[in-house]
Chain A
Amino acid sequence: DAGVTQSPTHLIKTRGQQVTLRCSPKSGHDTVSWYQQALGQGPQFIFQYYEEEERQRGNFPDRFSGHQFPNYSSELNVNALLLGDSALYLCASSLGTGGYNEQFFGPGTRLTVL
């Protein structure tokens, strides 16, 4: 049973560019959440997707957007990249949106903005 997978594992971009990160949830899960983890910090919630809609959003600008597909996989898009966007981006999946549903995390995508 495959867990949460993310691609790519590493990515290097320059300021102003746009990036798309991908996530496939654990088999049977229908909800995907995205987190940003800066170096030395804990993960910060970006947003959660369920039934192809954004259900809740953290304190991130509109440059951060997402999408969920009918097969429950998800993309995170970041436009107009800033140096401060350099971080590990984590995807977590769960069965349902509630806080009682365990979230399973993927290995992350390491984004470096030069």
Chain B
Amino acid sequence: AQSVSQHNHHVILSEAASLELGCNYSYGGTVNLFWYVQYPGQHLQLLLKYFSGDPLVKGIKGFEAEFIKSKFSFNLRKPSVQWSDTAEYFCAVNAWSNTGKLIFGQGTTLQVKP
């Protein structure tokens, strides 16, 4: 069965530190890849997405992610985090382009200390 694995469950960083959150998926075919973010008290919202083309994609708020097909990975990065980046981050995969079914990882809680 298809699955998504996020290696870091809880990450604590100081402001201005660099961030990298790991995401690996298991599926041999073509995939669409997403990172969602959930800020405290808010609903899930899309951070960035990859469908095809340039494997380095940029999203909102300075986030970017790199798709490495050979490693089945889609890691999220930000060069310098802010206190306002404190949130839960979810990696998600869509393995069937004709449907919107998303398979989510279990999430990473990021805490940024001011």
| Cα(A97)–Cα(B45), bound, Å | 18
* Total chain A interface residues with beta-carbon distance under 8 A: 30
Interface contact B104-A44, CB-CB below 8 Å: yes
Interface hub of A45, A48, A99 (most chain B Cβ within 10 A):
A99
Interface contact A98-B98, CB-CB below 8 Å: yes
Is A84 in contact with chain B by the CB < 8 A criterion? no
Is B106 in contact with chain A by the CB < 8 A criterion? yes
- Which residues on A sit within 8 Å (CB–CB) of B44? 43, 90, 92, 105
Interface of A is mostly: loop
- Which residues on B sit within 8 Å (CB–CB) of A40? 106-107
Interface contact A42-B99, CB-CB below 8 Å: no
Interface contact B4-A98, CB-CB below 8 Å: no
B residues at A contact (CB < 8 Å): 4, 6, 32, 36, 42-46, 49, 51, 90, 92, 94-107
